[in-house]
Amino acid sequence: ADAMDRMTAEILGRLAKGKVLVIWCFDQSESMLDDRQEIMARIDRVYQELGIAKSAQGDALLTAVTSYGAKAMTHTKKPTANVDEIVEAMNAVPTDPSGFEMQCQAVGYAIASHHGFAAQGGRQIMLILVTDESGDPASNNQYLEATIAEAKSSRCPIYVLGRESVFGYPYAMMNWVD
């Protein structure tokens, strides 16, 4: 709940500066199924709160929904302000049984495929990555610099919602009491 409130505040902060395109990028892994359902339970509230703000009226805030597993997918035909279409697109995110999580590749794809639309409409672009893991290390190593370059050239901040990701570090330290 706190993370979703923070995302709402970040979106409102950007809306205060002009039109915004928000890209949601969901991890399709089976371990994310519960988290995706929890976000879906709260997403209406986020968009209701955003709809109350004068800065979000009309088409000031558009949303695109993407996801990834072994490959990246876009679930919105075009960015939309229609909350029902956003929820429908989020519900369309499948669970990928492959076990692959091509995170950097998917983030780069999501930004690149929406950069032109955002630039043409004079929109700020932001990406919200919803994941619980760091992604495939080999793919991340291959696509990391290109993804960073794409985000920088698009001036796209990337927000990460995830409770268990160790941000690419190969070890997680835990206190264990028996």
pLDDT tens, position by position, 26-44:
999 888 888 888 887 777 7
pLDDT in tens, 82-103: 888 998 999 999 999 888 889 9
Residue 57 has pLDDT above 70, yes or no: no
**What is residue 168's predicted lDDT score, i.e. its pLDDT?**
52
Residue written as tokens 């997403």? Answer: 43
Average pLDDT of 52-59? 61
Q: Is the pLDDT of residue 174 over 80?
A: no
**Average pLDDT score over residue span 52-75:** 83
Structure token digits, residue 55? 């800065």
- Check whether 158 has a pLDDT greater than 60: yes
Mean pLDDT of the chain, nearest integer: 85
Q: Is 73 strand, coil or helix?
A: strand
Q: Number of C-alpha atoms within 13 angstroms, CB side, residue 90?
A: 26
pLDDT value at 119 more than 90: yes
Contacts of residue 57, defined as CB under 8 A and 6 or more positions apart, other chains included, come to 51
- On the question of pLDDT at 139 being above 90, the answer is no
Q: How much is the pLDDT for 175? A: 78
- Give the pair of three-digit tokens for residue 99: 């076990």
Query: What span, in angstroms and rounded, lies between the C-alpha atoms of 93 and 150?
Result: 24
Q: Is the pLDDT of residue 172 over 70?
A: no
CA distances 26 to 64, 69, 106, 128, 173, Å, are: 11, 9, 9, 8, 26
The pLDDT of residue 127 is 97
pTM: 0.85
Which pLDDT value is given to residue 52? 54
